[in-house]
């Protein structure tokens, strides 16, 4: 029996672990296929679905290209190396799409499964733990991970954010087990931990930043302890990720120079957006209350540094320090690349969840624990509901409206040639055939005359586009629209459909 606990107590605790895990899994799987795939998801599906692992005849296995120059026939390796993300999520999506067919839920399955497995892993470690303090930490960690709004939202997104955060969360618990009693019981990285950290690196570059911070801590500790195995294992971790960095270095340099920037922003605007997005991602009400608990503990308890079990444990200070350093580095990366969104900071959430769990574990009496748990649920509920109703980009409705009004060989016109596969996914799914012979693009005014000559003989055109393409489509209509004087428009969430008809 564990630490003298009664079978009845263990039964209730097991029930709490199971219900918390099931609630977290339910939140992650709920309506997983309801929303349309958005632009980045469609890009990932295009990479997974239309670029084979083995190259097309006459094409090389690997060729250095930028993302704007990916073409049909490029191998998966060439296409992924041209994009600014590591390949693991796309490989998993390639497997699920090939096995289950193209659908929203199949595209999001790797993200959802990884998020659910993280909860199962956290629950298993909590159940196996025998030390009362550590058991409370792991139980609180499970609750926080289960209800972390940003982790729930991106578990239903077919990009690499959930995958990277899940691998960080899983490996972080192994790291904490080695560090939780400080340097006196520290041991070098284990094989499973190395594998999980490596998988995080191959999921997303911002996740790799967390791994670099962990590696620096491990390297310093190994040197201080004179542990050659510890140093060797850190370098092994680095060498496992190095091949991809070499394959992708041309894209890394291109991205850092703003090659895929969304727009021109000043540094003041970038800094403001970074603060706003960090606060959104990390669930700031939880963090503020946790800081309040720390301050109250130090004020209420005399000599709290010696009295408090968490103050004496190295991870308590390392976790918030690593979180702050990561968030700062991620903000600089995002600003340098010219992109801005809360999702780029998601990888700090597992670190903060474990740190907050160490603080909440100080609450030993049952009424206090129930009150704190109720507060955690209440503070997360409104954010979860807000994210649940978030509007993104409705490419599915856009494509359906276009296909329904495009009989026979009606051409489909879309803005910006590099986005061909992004529009192709839903067109191919709804038409049941390869739509590329019917797809035409305009990227700039320089394309207008040639495209106009190619399409002028058709009595009808179907136009599909992201809202960012309105300007170029409007410009093309001013240049060539006299061929189709009847212009009908439909607006969806950040997307649009038009039908141009000749009477």
Tokens of 149: 């709004």
Predicted pLDDT at 390: 83
- For 373-382, the pLDDT digits (tens) are 999 999 999 8
99-151 pLDDT tens trace: 999 999 999 999 999 999 999 999 999 999 988 889 999 999 999 999 999 99
For residues 381-418, b (16+ Cβ closer than 10 Å) or e, as one string?
A: eebbeebbeeebbbbbbbbbbbbebbeeebbbbbbbee
Distance from C-alpha of 313 to C-alpha of 65, rounded to nearest angstrom: 48
pLDDT band (50, 70, 90) for residue 393: very high
Q: pLDDT over 70 for what percent of the chain?
A: 94
Q: What is the four-CA torsion angle of 475, 476, 481, 486, rounded to 10 degrees? A: -80
| pLDDT value of residue 1 | 36
**Using CA atoms, how far apart are residues 299 and 303, in angstroms rounded to an integer?**
9
- State pTM to two decimals: 0.93
């Amino acid at each position: 029996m564990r630490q003298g606990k009664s079978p009845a107590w263990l039964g209730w605790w097991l029930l709490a672990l199971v219900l918390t895990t099931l609630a977290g899994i339910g939140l992650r799987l709920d309506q997983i296929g309801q929303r349309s795939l958005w632009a980045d998801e469609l890009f990932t599906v295009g990479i997974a679905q239309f670029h084979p692992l083995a190259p097309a005849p006459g094409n090389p296995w690997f060729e250095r290209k930028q993302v704007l120059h990916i073409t049909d026939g490029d191998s998966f390796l060439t296409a992924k190396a041209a994009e600014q993300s590591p390949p693991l999520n796309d490989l998993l999506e390639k497997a699920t799409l090939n096995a289950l067919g193209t659908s929203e839920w199949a595209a999001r399955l790797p993200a959802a499964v990884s998020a659910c497995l993280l909860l199962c892993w956290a629950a298993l470690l909590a159940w196996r733990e025998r030390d009362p303090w550590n058991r409370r930490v792991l139980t609180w960690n499970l609750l926080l991970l289960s209800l972390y709004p940003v982790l729930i939202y991106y578990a239903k997104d077919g990009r690499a954010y959930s995958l990277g955060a899940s691998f960080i969360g899983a490996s972080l618990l192994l790291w904490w087990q080695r560090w939780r009693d400080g340097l006196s019981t520290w041991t070098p990285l284990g094989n499973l931990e190395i594998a999980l950290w490596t998988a995080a690196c191959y999921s997303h570059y911002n996740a790799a930043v967390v791994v670099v911070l962990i590696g620096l801590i491990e390297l310093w500790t190994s040197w201080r302890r004179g542990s050659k195995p510890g140093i060797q294992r850190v370098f092994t971790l680095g060498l496992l990720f190095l091949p991809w960095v070499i394959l992708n270095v041309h894209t890394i340099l291109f991205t850092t120079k703003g090659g895929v920037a969304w727009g021109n922003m000043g540094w003041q605007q970038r800094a403001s957006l970074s603060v706003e997005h960090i606060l959104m991602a990390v669930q700031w009400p939880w963090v503020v209350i946790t800081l309040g608990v720390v301050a109250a503990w130090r004020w209420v308890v005399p000599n709290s540094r010696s009295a408090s079990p968490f103050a004496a444990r190295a991870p308590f200070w390392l976790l918030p320090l690593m979180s702050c350093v990561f968030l700062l580095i991620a903000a600089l990366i995002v600003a340098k690349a010219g992109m801005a969104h809360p999702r780029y900071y998601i990888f700090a959430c597992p670190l903060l969840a474990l740190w907050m769990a160490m603080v909440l574990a100080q609450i030993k009496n049952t009424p206090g624990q129930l009150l704190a748990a109720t507060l955690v649920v209440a503070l997360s509920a409104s954010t979860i509901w807000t994210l649940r109703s978030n509007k993104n980009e409705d490419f599915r409705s856009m494509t359906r409206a276009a296909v329904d009004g495009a009989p026979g060989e009606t051409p489909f016109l879309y803005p910006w040639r590099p986005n061909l596969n992004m529009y192709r996914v839903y067109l191919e799914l709804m038409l049941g055939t390869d739509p590329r012979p019917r797809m035409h693009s305009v990227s700039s005014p320089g394309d207008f005359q040639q495209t106009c000559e190619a399409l002028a003989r058709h009595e009808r055109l179907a136009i599909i586009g992201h809202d960012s393409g309105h300007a170029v489509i409007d410009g093309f209509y001013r240049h060539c629209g006299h061929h189709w004087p009847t212009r009908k428009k439909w607006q969806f969430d950040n997307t649009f459909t038009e039908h141009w008809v000749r009477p």
